A and B are shown apart, each in its own frame.
Chain A
Amino acid sequence: MDIAIIKYNAGNVQSLTFALNRLGVDPILTDDPETLQKADKVIFPGVGEASTAMNYIRKNKIDEVIKDLHQPFLGVCLGLQLMCKHSEENDTECIGVFDNIVKKFDPNLKVPHMGWNTIIDLKGPLFEGVDEESYLYFVHSYYAETADDTIATCDYANRFSAALHKDNYYAVQAHPEKSSLAGQQILKNFLELT
């Protein structure tokens, strides 16, 4: 199985690569449109700041490539936020796969939302075999609002989207690669999507 991880300026992908290795696959890191189009699955990681990432993505037309893909696609953390329509982080227009808006957490909370939190209202094949109230590891300062495309929610003072799904596009806010067995199951489920 060819798994491609999108290479761009926002991501430390080593942990994700190792997590996939533990599941028996060896992903390739690439920004080549043709390789991405041909891959069986595409993963869009992301750690960092939205506007810097989006500037790079637009300049290199990665947004167009992403919107054109038809195979199972998984955004992780900042990847999820960049797949939304707009982020309050430096007022950034994002890729717009999802219509959700990304907002900043209430400044009275401790930010980033960092650590293990439970996910509930799990829907669809990405969460096959994952229990309601499983713990995942989160690190983020902005969150996607809930909407019809929300397939899991998490609560940090208010309820936000822990995962989104539309067509072939999936995204998770937590870091499955760092979320012990529950995270491993989510990655495994993604690899089994057709």
Chain B
Amino acid sequence: MLTKRIIPCLDIKDGRTVKGVNFVNLQDAGDPVELAALYADQMADELVFLDITATVEKRKTLVDLVARVAERINIPFTVGGGISSVEDVSALLNAGADKISINSSAVKRPDLINELALEFGSQCVVVAIDTRHVDGEHFVHTHGGRQITPIKTLEWVVEVEQRGAGEILLTSMDHDGTKNGFADELTATISDLVNIPVIASGGGGNKTHFETVFNQGKADAALAASIFHYREVDIRDLKEDLASAGIVVRK
């Protein structure tokens, strides 16, 4: 059976991991390649690299990093952050990325989704959506979740699927950073609305949260960052627990 996926996310700035990580057995915890290889060994199913490098001139660093990651690890990985053109995507895929994720640039110019799907295939186009609950409705946010847009999240997910997105990475800004659990209800609603995989992100703090986001939340995959970086949750242990709860995972 197709498994549910566990996806650690690494924030990257100028080619280095941003958040301090707590791995004693890593020679260089700031090196994304080392960390990626460690997660691959721990049975992570995929990885996401989110580049938060501010300046355009430093983005070349990202392409180099992607090549170094692809050279070393043998599981799929997605690269996101600041991608806004076919050329950006071409460079990253040619360096060895399996998928790319777009967020604000897709909101700004939705045709980008169509262009990327046509040029590279839907399978490598992940549309990341930052959403927040405002006055009884869910609205898409941009700029790292700081800026609200008039776009309703439940309409946007359908539109991105129609335009050719292959997967949705849904981050609930209401849950992100809380470690109180994922946005199960919203994730389930979206998972029912679209026929492409949905990755839930934001709020995962313990093993039970992952269990509920897969069961109640109907997520196809769940993403988290700091709980893995700080070893609050070990991926192997998490998968053992999920398997005991009857959730199909790769072990």
Quick one: CB contact mask for B159-196 with A, threshold 8 Å, 1 for yes?
A: 00000001100000000000000000000000000011
* A118 (CB) vs chain B CBs: closest residue: B1
Query: In the complex, which residues of chain A have a beta carbon less than 8 angstroms from the beta carbon of B75?
Result: 137, 178-180
Measured CB to CB, the closest approach of chain B to A120, in angstroms, equals 11
A108→B123 CA distance, assembly (Å): 18
Asked if A135 lies at the interface with its beta carbon under 8 angstroms from chain B, I say yes
Q: A49-B121, A178-B74, A179-B74 are in contact. Are A111 and B221 (CB under 8 A)?
A: no
User: Which of B71, B93, B123, B250 is A114 in contact with, Cβ under 8 Å?
Assistant: B123
A180 touches B74 (CB 8 A): yes
User: Which of A19, A110, A141 is B220 in contact with, Cβ under 8 Å?
Assistant: A110
Quick one: CB contact mask for B7-45 with A, threshold 8 Å, 1 for yes?
A: 000000000000000000000000000000000100001
Q: A109-B195, A110-B196 are in contact. Are A15 and B70 (CB under 8 A)?
A: yes
Q: A109-B195, A180-B75 are in contact. Are A14 and B70 (CB under 8 A)?
A: yes
User: Which of A112, A113, A138, A177 is B74 in contact with, Cβ under 8 Å?
Assistant: A177
Asked if B76 lies at the interface with its beta carbon under 8 angstroms from chain A, I say yes
User: Which of B5, B70, B120, B167 is A116 in contact with, Cβ under 8 Å?
Assistant: B5
Asked if A28 lies at the interface with its beta carbon under 8 angstroms from chain B, I say no
Asked if A47 lies at the interface with its beta carbon under 8 angstroms from chain B, I say yes
Query: In the complex, which residues of chain A have a beta carbon less than 8 angstroms from the beta carbon of B2?
Result: 113, 115-117, 138, 156
Asked if B124 lies at the interface with its beta carbon under 8 angstroms from chain A, I say yes
Query: In the complex, which residues of chain B have a beta carbon less than 8 angstroms from the beta carbon of A125?
Result: none
Query: In the complex, which residues of chain B have a beta carbon less than 8 angstroms from the beta carbon of A12?
Result: 93-94, 96, 120, 124
A14→B123 CA distance, assembly (Å): 16
Query: In the complex, which residues of chain B have a beta carbon less than 8 angstroms from the beta carbon of A175?
Result: 76
Query: In the complex, which residues of chain B have a beta carbon less than 8 angstroms from the beta carbon of A112?
Result: 122-123, 166, 196-197
B96 touches A14 (CB 8 A): yes
* A49 (CB) vs chain B CBs: closest residue: B121
A21 touches B71 (CB 8 A): yes
Chain B interface bracket (under 10, 10 to 19, 20 to 34, 35 or more): 20 to 34
* A136 (CB) vs chain B CBs: closest residue: B250
Chain A interface bracket (under 10, 10 to 19, 20 to 34, 35 or more): 35 or more
Query: In the complex, which residues of chain B have a beta carbon less than 8 angstroms from the beta carbon of A111?
Result: 195-196
Measured CB to CB, the closest approach of chain B to A44, in angstroms, equals 17
Measured CB to CB, the closest approach of chain A to B227, in angstroms, equals 21
A132→B197 CA distance, assembly (Å): 26
A14 touches B196 (CB 8 A): no
Query: In the complex, which residues of chain A have a beta carbon less than 8 angstroms from the beta carbon of B70?
Result: 14-15, 18
A47 touches B121 (CB 8 A): yes
B94 touches A115 (CB 8 A): no
Quick one: CB contact mask for B70-86 with A, threshold 8 Å, 1 for yes?
A: 11001110000000000
B40 touches A180 (CB 8 A): yes
Quick one: CB contact mask for A113-137 with B, threshold 8 Å, 1 for yes?
A: 1111110000000000000000101
Among A164-186, those with CB < 8 Å from B are: 175, 177-181, 183-184
* B249 (CB) vs chain A CBs: closest residue: A116
Q: A115-B3, A178-B98 are in contact. Are A19 and B250 (CB under 8 A)?
A: no
Asked if A2 lies at the interface with its beta carbon under 8 angstroms from chain B, I say no
Query: In the complex, which residues of chain A have a beta carbon less than 8 angstroms from the beta carbon of B71?
Result: 18, 21
A15 touches B195 (CB 8 A): no
Asked if B95 lies at the interface with its beta carbon under 8 angstroms from chain A, I say yes
Q: Which 5 A-B pairs have the closest CB atoms?
A: A14-B96, A135-B250, A116-B250, A139-B123, A116-B3
Q: Can you list 28 contacts pairing A with B, beta carbon distance less than 8 Å?
A: A12-B93, A12-B94, A14-B94, A14-B95, A18-B71, A18-B96, A47-B120, A107-B195, A108-B195, A110-B195, A111-B196, A112-B122, A114-B123, A114-B166, A114-B167, A115-B2, A115-B5, A116-B5, A135-B250, A137-B76, A139-B123, A155-B1, A156-B2, A178-B98, A179-B74, A179-B75, A180-B75, A183-B74
